[in-house]
Amino acid sequence: LKKGNIILIADGAIKLKVMETKEKEISCLVVNGGILSNRKGVNIPGISLDLPFLTEKDIQDINFGIEQGVDFIAASFVRRPEDALMIRRMLESKKANIDIIAKIENAEGVQKLNDIIKVVDGIMIARGDLGVEIPCEEVPLIQKRIIAKCNKVGKPVITATQMLESMIDSPRPTRAEASDVANAIIDGSDAIMLSGETASGKYPVEAVQFMAGIARRVEDSLDYGRCSHGSDAEFYTVTDAIAHATCTIAADLKASAIITATKSGFTARMVSKYRPKAPIIAACPDESICRKLTLVWGVKPIVGYTKNSTDKIIEEAIERSLEAGLIKNGDLVVLTAGIPYKTNLIKVSIIGEVLARGTGIGSSIVTGKIRICRTPEEAKKKIQPGDILVVRSTDKDYIPFIKKAGAIIAEEGGLTSHTAITSLNLKIPALVGVDGALEILDDGSTATIDLIRGLVYKGIITVR
């Protein structure tokens, strides 16, 4: 330190100017005074301190975290990739599967950001110290730049510190703070974090409620089309390209959800970076991966990746999603899976029980009541306008009732059958060649016919 250097304490609340330095003593002039309490940070802008990145206490804390099975370690004042790699080597030596979040809090960390992102699992923008170490007016632009870089590579980014600072003492945030939180979300933050507001504030619960309310309101109004179809998208891997295509298909079909089967969480993160409107359901092999994915934007993780074959993995992911209440019968979902050493895939599926299959006459989707009729006389008693007439075969005696029906299902097959020809002439949708239709289908139940795919679904299904 030299005479004239500035020392900032407690995120810049207290400002000192160095007047004189001795071997173990610094004399300062108090420029901005304040109450100095315990455990406050000390910053010296523009001075690179040659201090070890990990202290003995840090090492003890990391070992404690490993013993407790924590999911994340947030490393403070990461200046260069080597700092994060010190922690990485320590974790690997203990065979600990813990993600590292690098806190960017100084100018050197900002300068080396590209290299730091490559060796960590996520970034935290710690704006309190960052705004002390660099000019305050630069922080908003740096925040946007960091978020954009993290979004581009699909790594979670947390915006933190002084989000709702006034709520340490006040029951309501300022309008500027509400706008700040909203803009952090619009910029692309995966998570927004409270610190002093909940650690030592008078209104911790209210602070969480306000922040959650802002997040919900902002996300309801996001332009998801712009987010997922950005012109600057670059495909670095097959998974990247498939993730982008998955989001495009989901948007085009207005899918109820995107289900991704992911062994490591990577596929879910790649889908998340395109910010689809549909929720992302990540089926993972264990709870550890699920907990880590809770930090990733838009992802709802569930355990459901215990099978070996691709079909079984997809089937299990759908079953677990249904059990969790994340999807329901009738929903259209887009499925994608990243299966190591095998083919990556995209599949569009309608969640529902398929009752029967046949050959469709027409291209419409019909939902109605099933009416099983073995004779024209039975059809006369049962058929109401819009019902689905189910028969073994038809002849001229059925024509008056076919005209009233919304669709026909016939066991008799062939495009030259009476049912098929009548269907074409009367422009009544029909499904022919449905083996065992009279025994499989329940009289009076509701069903949906997809004539394009030749399927009969149980209940009301949204088919596109």
Kindly give the parts of the chain with pLDDT less than 70: 224-236, 340-343
How confident is the model at residue 113, as a pLDDT? Answer: 96
pLDDT digits (tens, 9 = 90+) for 197-241: 999 899 999 999 999 999 999 999 887 655 554 445 555 678 888
Domain boundaries, the chain: 6-43, 56-222, 226-350, 354-458
430-432 and 446-450 beta bridge pairing: unpaired
How confident is the model at residue 378, as a pLDDT? Answer: 96
Q: Which residues pair with 346 in a beta bridge?
A: 336
How confident is the model at residue 231, as a pLDDT? Answer: 43
Homologous superfamily of domain range 56-222: Phosphoenolpyruvate-binding domains (3.20.20.60)
Which 3 state secondary structure label does DSSP give 373? coil
The verdict on domain 226-350 having CATH code 3.40.1380.20 is yes
Q: How far is CA 15 from the centre of its chain?
A: 42
Answer yes or no: same fold for 56-222 and 226-350.
Answer: no
Name the CATH topology of 354-458: Glucose Oxidase; domain 1 (3.50.30)
SS3 annotation, 34-63: CCCCCCCCEECCCCCCCCCCCCHHHHHHHH
The backbone region for 191, taken as left when phi is positive above 0, alpha when psi lies in -120 to 50, beta otherwise, is: beta
Nearest residue to 232 via CA among 148, 325, 161, 164 = 148
Q: Which residues contact 326 (CB under 8 A, 6 or more apart)?
A: 257, 279, 281, 300, 302
Q: How far is CA 25 from the centre of its chain?
A: 52
How confident is the model at residue 238, as a pLDDT? Answer: 82
How confident is the model at residue 225, as a pLDDT? Answer: 59
How far the first Cα of the chain sits from its last, in Å, is 69
CA distance 41 to 44: 10
CA distance 406 to 386: 4
pLDDT digits (tens, 9 = 90+) for 388-397: 999 999 999 9
Length of the chain counted residue by residue: 464
Nearest residue to 409 via CA among 351, 444, 451 = 451
